[in-house]
Structure 1
């Protein structure tokens, strides 16, 4: 066999062995979706992620509960493009949603808010689409977008100054998960781990007192893991229910 042909075939073989350059950002996965509530009468909301009423209102109320994508709470705050497959009823782009709750439907990965579910439809066809109840859909993870917002640290209402601190980091842009949070203990010159009791909530008994709190977050994304420093992000006199600007974004 001609050496040039052998070399050509060898290069093709190597190319086939190499991983595809496509990522989860541009690959759709097949699943099913249903909805809760109604477009005109949204339900009261608590949510397994710990966002409280914000979990119903954030992202323009285009929110969803997830099953497998909840990932023990690591999936809270992740954004997805969801679209259904019926071209007669469904829009081509579907809807972008953020995960704020855990839920198990009829073999579904998403339980969408009624508002988000209606956006799957072409104009004026939402009522017909919602009559189906459960739809075959496809989805992909996308970067969250919060124009005009920095990431913020929300102090949970059950926090008790100064002995118990529980937080949620909200308005996280980009396509990254927070998998660890630590607080700097100045008197010990060491980082102390926060606990993750449920959902997207991080807490600590007896946090440092009398000084602004510096945090660092371990971020996991398509480009790997890295620590992000939030210097003096929480004031020394923090208050339960308050939200503090982290002065940066993750995207």
Structure 2
């Protein structure tokens, strides 16, 4: 039989190994760590605002979400400079923004959703009016959102920002346009990373068909899909997670209608 102190040393060693194993599994995304997109480190940028207190000028936008109130995005939205917008791949991403290093700052941090593009203006200097010129990282916020972090009379303020998971109620929403031979779908209310890398559609009479990126958060399929119940396979741009929304649209689906899946990214 091993001496008592040897057995005690072995017991301590095994406990330490178990703890290290638990920490490693947690870091690797095992139990104890939620799956999906995680908040990124804070970075520095600048922010301005557009529109008025009603945010009416922010409706529509380059992501194609239409009326942001009825779409569920509200007035805490932002237009991204082209560096962040990434040709529409950033549509739906969520950011926390707080004003820093300015006497105009409030202590509030606001969470906004990317719904629009702030286009470059080559006729103006990047540090004097051409705020969204590449390679600047810039946020052009809806005025109600900007007024939560700074005095609006400041016009432009330095900010600290980070990507955060989008917390959405309900499943992904799919707004249909097009016709029986060309289906254009706007993908909205996306949780988790908030963004989309690819979309596939499947009818009850077809296999999975890839949908090409049209613009913003819209995807299209040139196929005869009328009279078929439709399922969608959606993959996140950032986290690479995939969800499948089976039979989300009935066989008598119509353009102009919005259909909601039962699942979403977390």
**In the TM superposition, what is the alpha-carbon distance from 1:187 to its structure 2 partner?**
4.2
- Provide the C-alpha distance between the structure 2 equivalents of 1:44 and 1:221, rounded to a whole number of angstroms: 25
Match runs of 1:141-220 below 5 Å: 141-147=163-169, 149-156=170-177, 159-160=178-179, 162-184=180-202, 186-187=204-205, 190-220=207-237
Q: How many residues align?
A: 216
More strand by share: 1
Cα 1:187/1:249, change in 2 over 3 Å:
closer
Once residues 92 and 112 of structure 2 are traced to their aligned partners in structure 1, the CA distance between those partners, rounded to angstroms, is: 9
Residue 39 (structure 2) aligns with? 25
Instruction: Report the counterpart of residue 3 of structure 1 in structure 2.
Output: none
TM-score, normalising length: structure 2: 0.73
SS in 1 for 2:59: coil
Aligned match of 1:111: 140
Deviation at 1:53, TM superposition (A): 1.9
Q: Secondary structure at the match of 1:116?
A: helix
Q: Choose from 107, 114, 117 the match for 1:99.
A: 114
Q: Is the 8 A contact 1:46 1:55 kept in 2?
A: no
With the length of structure 1 as denominator, give the TM-score of the two structures.
0.77
Secondary structure of the equivalent of 2:254?
A: coil
1:145-188 alpha-carbon deviations (Å, 9 max, x no partner): 223x22211113xx22x222111121111125321111225545
Residue in structure 1 matched with residue 68 of structure 2 by the alignment: 54
The 1:45/1:250 distance shift into structure 2, 3 A limit, reads same
Superposition RMSD in Å: 2.4
Runs (5+) with no aligned partner, structure 2: 1-26, 28-36, 120-129
Aligned to 1:14: none
Structure 1 residues 229 and 44: alpha-carbon distance in aligned structure 2, compared to 1, 3 A threshold: closer
**In structure 2, what is the Cα distance between the partners aligned to 1:49 and 1:212?**
26
2:84·2:137 contact (CA, 8 Å) conserved in 1? Answer: no
- The answer for unaligned runs of 5 or more in structure 1 is 1-20, 122-128
- The answer to whether residue 59 in structure 2 is matched with residue 45 in structure 1 is yes
Residue 194 of structure 1: how far off its partner (Å)? 0.6
Give the deviation of 1:120 after TM superposition: 0.6
CA deviations 1:88-117 (Å, max 9, x no partner) are 542334211000011135155111000110
Name the SS of the counterpart of 2:146 in structure 1. Answer: helix
Structure 1: distance between partners of 2:168 and 2:208: 30
